[in-house]
Every structure is written in structure tokens, then in C-alpha cells.
Structure 1
């Protein structure tokens, strides 16, 4: 990549990133195809086949909606990277695509957090769950998440811009040289409140849930088997969340930091840049995995309800 200046730091580094012109278009295209189909199917099931909606259903519907909006931002990005960073569209469309990308990403993270927190209340604090586990509060929470995330991500429309380099038009995912320092501050705030805090809460809630579920109470029964399945589901959600989002946010933060400081040698900056670009597909992959988790949760609930009905009939 050509000359880049941020604050007092001037970089004249050539990034060895030809790999991203293959990796990102292929990854984004695959995620778009599978993510679009799977989330459309999930939304169809939520709208036409699940009645009445419970709190988890409402959060899953919003999660599927945010994942769908996320994958809709990928075709233009896939085309852009396949053309080796040449954006043939307008600057407003560049801003909208980047805004949609990040808005949907963080909505997905917060709705995953809501699902985990709701289950945490149901498992660990059933009395509070009866008080706060009403679908009215879930509706208010869902609307609040959309409004807050759209508000927090709106500066993207200000920071993101296009520029011309040689015969190409670059659609930046950061900011211009003059605004880069401000962008780093903004990114740090969003990182803390939209990723670090949700990650901490999710780890705490799920860890405590696992502790409660694995603590022996009575001899092994059908209920204890159900608890083991719940623990497996919780562990799966944790692994998916950490694998998809943690590497991306860590490498992105390091990339912004090393671009900002004036002591980073070119090989270090190149390595961090390569790591950041390589972890982008992981964040995108979550929009394909979420619908599979919906199916597993839905199937688990159906089996549990059938067993409960059979037990009631036998008694």
C-alpha cells in the first residue's frame, strides 16, 4: 500500500496483501450465499411457523434480521476486493456499505448477548426471570439496541470516504489522513462498549450458568441429561462467539494502533495488516453459524417439550 500518514507518523510501506484479493472475495461470496439463504429460511420460520413468540424467539428474529442485513453488505465488498481495491460506485454508497457492515455486526453481537443473558436469568435467577422475562421488555430492548447501534455507528458515515490512487478509487474502511486520530478514538470507544463489555458479560453469564448446571443436585435423571445438553449448547455459543469476533477485534485494534504510532517498522505493520485482513472472514462467518444454532436450540426445545408432555400424560 502506498504512503500513509497518521498524526505525526508517516509510513512508506509496501503491504504484501495480494492474498486479500482472493481471500476476501471468496470468503464474502460464500458467506453471502449461505448466510442469505439460511437467514431467509430462519426469518420465514420465525414469521410463519413459530407462534406465539417467546422472548428468545424475538431476540433470535432480530439476530437473523441483523445477520441478513450484514450479508447484504458483502456482495459489493466482494466485488471491490476482487478488483484489487477499485471502487466503481459512488462515495455515498461506499459510506452506506461500511455503515451497514458495522451496524449489523454490532447488532448481532448485542442480540447474542441478550439471548445469553435471558437464559442466564432463567437458569440462575428464576424469580427475577419471572419478573423481567416478559416479551414486552424484550421488544423494548430490541428497539433500543437498533436505535443505539444506529446512533453509535452513524459517525461511520462521516469518517468513511473514497480517494483516488493511480487509476483506482479506494473505499476506505477507516478515515482520511486528517481524521484518522479522531477515528481511532471513536473506534476505541465502540470497541469497549460494543465488544469488550458484551464479551465480559457473556463470559460471566455463561460461566455461571455452566457452574449452576454442572453442580450435582439429584441422582442422574432425564433432567440431568437435559442439563448436559444445555451445557454443550452454552459451550458451543461461547466458542462460536470468541472464534468469530475476538481475533477480528484484537487484530483490528493492533492495526489501528500501529498505524497511529510513529515507531512501528514496516515489517511489523505489514504483519499486523495481514493478520487483520485474514480475520475478517471469521467475523463474517458468524452470520452463517447463527441460523444453525437457531435450529439446534429450536430442536432442543421441541424435544424437551415432547418429553415433558409425555411425562405429564404418564402421570
Structure 2
């Protein structure tokens, strides 16, 4: 391979195109040795004449991750507090919502580290351990969200299409087992992101993180991408579509008396809209672009404008993928099983506690006043 100038040039182009690409371009590997090359990973000091997208990347990532951090912390933190405080009203759907909110919260707590990295223009100062954990958390959340949404869709499908069997098949214990299996599978399958952490780039003289390691087999990356694409996205998405098709058919075929139960049908329709919106805006663009990007790297006839456009699309789609943490609170509030009633009951319980406390203070004050009058008399 090294004796062929054409293949050497192709390999060089692949490395340059992958420089500012998303982390998965270099990180979905199990055992691959890194080879030092005289190329930067952040797009700095490219040997080609293509303009660098470093400024674009740093601005978009730092802004997007900052907004996602604020919205994700507020939305998921509030939802998690409500779900925990009303845990006695638990249901299988409630179990999935609780785990989804926890996944989102753990992810957004690592995003400030990414903000610092891109604000510092690609300089990592937080150590190797946090570099690995930050990369790992994003992809664990990505695929946990997909699988939890699929599980919630199946639960809603059984409740509407097979209501009698649903009472026997869907239980809280089985929902907890399903959540445990999802966490275990996702954490294990995302473990390659823990294999590579920070590294020092000699050309830019910076410590790098969230950048693709170099010297990897493109064929392996393509195969791993297709595997994760099918298992992590296509199969769950097809499952969700089948569930929603069954739900819509069941709702349309209901009798007039059954249609009066608008609450269940309304929650199902709202869930369909929110989940499909999340998939179409957040998950699908990322997986489609990632596949196109890896295919793009194998080409030798790419132009400079195509490279820049592909690199910018990587930045945009990865930001959208991380934004799924902001969309999930909509799912809790608008389609969650009794979420608004849980919020209402929580308000009443807090209000009654305050009223009870103020009443006790009033009684205690009146008793002390009476005791004072007795003493003075």
C-alpha cells in the first residue's frame, strides 16, 4: 500500500477529511493502534488549500452545547424531581420516563466540558479520564434514548391495541428489567469510546480530545458503522413505526363509545408526534450523515468545497444529535402517563405541607401568647 502513490494519496486525503469529522469516524474501534502522522485533528494547519472550519466548528459547538446544557438541565432535572417525588404512583411507562430523564441528565452534565474545549479553540485541559467519560456519555445517552423511546412506544402499543393482554404482559418489574438490559447493552456496546482519550498534537502544540484518532482502517469503520446503524437506529425506528401504525389503526377503528376515552388516544397521538419529531430532527440526520461521511472518505475525486461542506454537516448533525436531551421533557409533559397530574398532586402536597406548617406556627404562637397572659395574670 505504501508503494502505490495513488493509494497513499487516497489515504492522506481520508485522514485530512476525517480531521474535523465527528468522533465516531475514529472512535468506534475495539483494538486499533494509533499511528503518528503530521496532520492535526482539529483542522488546524491543513496541508491542503481548503479553508479551515475551525472557527465555524468552535462557534457552533460551544453555542449549541451551552444551550443544550441549560435547557437539558432545567427540563430533565425538573422532570426527574417530579418523577422521583411521585414514585408511589409508579407504572411501566413511569419507569421508562425515569430512566430516560436520568440518561439525559447524566449526558448534559458532561457537556460543559465540551463547551470549555471549543471555547479554548481545541485545547483540552481537563485530563484523560474526563475526556474519555465525556465522549462515552454522549453516545450512551444517544442510544439509551432511542431504546427507551422504542420501549415506551411498545408499552403504549400494547395498552391500546391489546388492553387485556397488556395487564398481564406489561408490569413494573418487567419494565425495570427492560431498562436494566438497555443500560447494560448500551454501556457495553459504547465501550469503544472509552478506548481512546486525550492526545498531544505536535503540529498545533495542543492537547486534543473529541477528535478522531489516526491510522485506522476505513473498512473496519464502515463495517462498525453499518452494524451500529442497523442495531442502534434502524431496528428501533422500524419497531416504533410498526407500533405507531398499529396505534393509529386501533384508534381509527374504535367504536363511538370507545372514542370517548380521549385521554389515552390523545396521549398516544402526542407521543407519536414528539418521538417522530425527535427521530427526524435529531437521530436520523446524524446517522445518515455519519454513513455518508464514511463513504465520502473512501472517494479520491472529492473537491475542496465538498470537503468543507461535509465537515460542516458533521458539526451540525452531531449538535442536533446531542439536542435530543432537550426534546425528551416534551415527551414527559405532553404524553407521559399522568405526568401533569403528578405535577398537580405534587403542588397540592407542597401547598398542604406549607399550609400545615403555617397553621402549626399560628397555633404555637397563640399558645405562647396564652401562656404569657396566664403568667402575667
Measured on the aligned residues, the alpha-carbon RMSD in Å equals: 2.6
In structure 1, what is the Cα distance between the partners aligned to 2:299 and 2:215?
A: 14
2:125 pairs with one of 49, 69, 88:
88
- TM-score of the two chains, using structure 1 as the length reference: 0.85
2:326 pairs with one of 272, 288, 291:
288
| Aligned match of 1:162 | 199
Q: Secondary structure at the match of 2:124?
A: coil
Q: Residue 120 of structure 1 contacts residue 209 of structure 1 at CA under 8 Å; is this kept in 2? A: yes
Matched, 1:10 2:47: no
Q: Could you list the per-position Cα deviations for residues 158-205 of structure 1 after superposition, in whole angstroms to 9, with x for gaps in the alignment?
A: 245534131222214433223554344323322221111111111121
Question: 1:29 deviation in Å?
Answer: 0.7
Matched, 1:73 2:110: yes
| Aligned match of 1:129 | 166
The structure-2 alpha-carbon separation of the partners of 1:194 and 1:168, relative to structure 1 and needing over 3 Å to count, comes to same
Q: Secondary structure at the match of 1:264?
A: coil
Q: Secondary structure at the match of 1:155?
A: helix
In structure 2, what is the Cα distance between the partners aligned to 1:209 and 1:40?
A: 30
Gaps of 5+ in 2: 1-6, 17-47, 345-377
In structure 1, what is the Cα distance between the partners aligned to 2:127 and 2:218?
A: 21
In structure 1, what is the Cα distance between the partners aligned to 2:135 and 2:323?
A: 17
| Aligned match of 1:141 | 178
Q: Residue 42 of structure 1 contacts residue 291 of structure 1 at CA under 8 Å; is this kept in 2? A: yes
Q: Residue 43 of structure 1 contacts residue 65 of structure 1 at CA under 8 Å; is this kept in 2? A: yes
| Aligned match of 2:284 | 246
Which stretch has the larger CA shift, 119-128 or 105-114?
119-128
* Structure possessing the higher radius of gyration over alpha carbons: 2
Matched, 1:45 2:82: yes
Q: Residue 161 of structure 1 contacts residue 175 of structure 1 at CA under 8 Å; is this kept in 2? A: no
In structure 2, what is the Cα distance between the partners aligned to 1:188 and 1:31?
A: 28
1:211 pairs with one of 239, 242, 249:
249
The structure-2 alpha-carbon separation of the partners of 1:157 and 1:184, relative to structure 1 and needing over 3 Å to count, comes to farther
Equivalent residues, number: 300
Q: Secondary structure at the match of 2:256?
A: coil
Q: Secondary structure at the match of 2:81?
A: helix
Q: Secondary structure at the match of 2:213?
A: coil
1:256 pairs with one of 275, 294, 309:
294
The structure-2 alpha-carbon separation of the partners of 1:270 and 1:227, relative to structure 1 and needing over 3 Å to count, comes to same
Q: Secondary structure at the match of 1:187?
A: helix
Q: Secondary structure at the match of 1:178?
A: coil
In structure 1, what is the Cα distance between the partners aligned to 2:135 and 2:305?
A: 28
| Aligned match of 1:265 | 303
Higher relative contact order (CA 8 A, sep 6+): 2
Question: 1:59 deviation in Å?
Answer: 0.4
- TM-score of the two chains, using structure 2 as the length reference: 0.72
In structure 2, what is the Cα distance between the partners aligned to 1:156 and 1:251?
A: 19
Q: Residue 268 of structure 2 contacts residue 335 of structure 2 at CA under 8 Å; is this kept in 1? A: no
Q: Secondary structure at the match of 2:12?
A: strand
